[in-house]
Chains A and B, each alone.
Chain A
């Protein structure tokens, strides 16, 4: 199928996977899936599947990476070799390094790192099945895993993305929409204040389209936040 031929929507405004323009794929979250970790979360987001695990706080070594006034987050995003249709060669690449970094920057903005000087907290994100939008999956799962590990945070980061395909602004692009689409706008939102800790964008959006994509994202973030809180409540009970 060529770039021009792809039609993301039928005449009734329904996308290939049955969603409307502003609708997300179904999201499921479960805590405590890595029994040996201090905190962990599994997320299924459409066909995306990711596992996040948190270890620590622990001593940061070598010593030169220590910060005297706060802890550091050691975040790794990785895709399993069998997570995509063409096998991925194991090991870090430029893409996974960048995603690890922006994820760290997002999470370091909410974790109360000053409580743990000279230590590090390891955050491991493993994508085991990928269908566009894995960085959002990873950040969201990592937030839940940090909460599951009992790490004090000012808020949980919810990461969602809207984009554009065939000139239509769409919430939460799936694989073909992402491949043939014109833009992607992933955001990391703090649902308590609607502040942002993560923002990327590539493609082409007019200011109106941009505003619409932004609004889609903010609304979706609140929906996903409910699912995140429910996952934690299911494990620990009580109100959040």
Chain B
């Protein structure tokens, strides 16, 4: 990504708003933008989801390949996540090899899903030592207006939970639903004008400081954390956002489950 020119005016503006506990778009500190989720929206993907949070739009697509299990884990398949942020999604994104930002996004989303244990790699085994499924989760952004982490993570888990293993196409039995035990959800907070806000927009990201990503599992357990960008935060600040993350993650999990039932 090109180095953005951050007008100090924007930073001053954000700081002034923060004094009155306000945000650029009038949201409350921990309020998210309008959310739209659509599952099973891509014909050629075995699992797919489109998420729109405000003007941020992303897709997640699940594909399957047959792999040879690693010699030290002959009964396990694999999960691979890759985030591709193509220049289509904003004026600041440029073509070329994956940027640091997109690698970080892919890895943080991957960790949340992997560490929650919702995908049991042993269940992906077809023939021990010879054949296993490799689940490939591709994250693909169309429009970046901030907080792509959460959009990606939400699209990712919804796409996985509704994915079908294409066994017939690979001649290894009948198609079946990919078993996913659990719904890990990520919530991200960015420090804007000296305090953390939830679901930062692009302008808040440009004029903000450090961000923190929290992934919580079904029982409210923490599965992944990541602090990004330059900045210092206190234990009290962290406790505050952790508390709000618990309730927001539960809300989002509920939305994903409702969507699955309606499928």
Q: A residues touching B (Cβ–Cβ < 8 Å)?
A: 33-37, 47, 49, 51, 53, 55, 58, 76, 78, 80-87, 90-91, 122, 124-126, 128-131
Give 18 pairs: A residue, B residue, CB < 8 Å, sorted on A: A33-B142, A36-B202, A47-B44, A53-B89, A76-B86, A81-B63, A81-B82, A81-B136, A81-B138, A82-B63, A82-B138, A85-B169, A86-B63, A87-B65, A87-B138, A126-B88, A128-B42, A130-B44
Determine the main DSSP class of B at the interface with A.
mixed
* Chain B residues numbered 93-142 whose CB sits less than 8 Å from any CB in chain A: 95, 97-98, 136, 138, 140, 142
In whole angstroms, what is the CA distance A142 to B143 when docked?
16
B90 cross-chain contacts in A, Cβ below 8 A: 36-37
List 12 additional contacts besides A82-B138, A84-B44; criterion CB under 8 Å: A34-B88, A34-B89, A35-B145, A36-B55, A51-B88, A53-B142, A80-B59, A80-B61, A82-B45, A82-B140, A126-B88, A126-B142
A53 lies within 8 A of B88 (CB): yes
Selected from A33, A78, A130, the residue in CB contact (under 8 A) with B86 is A78
A34-B142, A81-B61 as given contacts; A129 in contact with B87, CB under 8 Å: no
Determine the main DSSP class of A at the interface with B.
loop
Report which residue of A33, A49, A124 has the largest number of chain B beta carbons within 10 angstroms of its beta carbon: A124
A82 lies within 8 A of B42 (CB): yes
B86 cross-chain contacts in A, Cβ below 8 A: 76, 78, 124, 126
Q: Sort A-B residue pairs by CB-CB distance and give the 8 closest, nearest first.
A: A82-B61, A124-B88, A35-B55, A82-B45, A87-B63, A81-B138, A34-B143, A53-B88
Is residue B71 contacting chain A, with contact meaning CB distance below 8 A? no
Selected from A33, A84, A90, A124, the residue in CB contact (under 8 A) with B82 is A90
In whole angstroms, what is the CA distance A55 to B42 when docked?
26
In whole angstroms, what is the CA distance A21 to B202 when docked?
49
Size category of the B interface is: 20 to 34
In whole angstroms, what is the CA distance A194 to B43 when docked?
34
In whole angstroms, what is the CA distance A55 to B59 when docked?
21
B59 lies within 8 A of A90 (CB): no
Is residue B62 contacting chain A, with contact meaning CB distance below 8 A? yes
In whole angstroms, what is the CA distance A125 to B88 when docked?
7
B87 lies within 8 A of A80 (CB): no
Least CB separation from A89: chain B residue: B82
B48 lies within 8 A of A58 (CB): no
Selected from A47, A55, A76, A122, the residue in CB contact (under 8 A) with B43 is A47
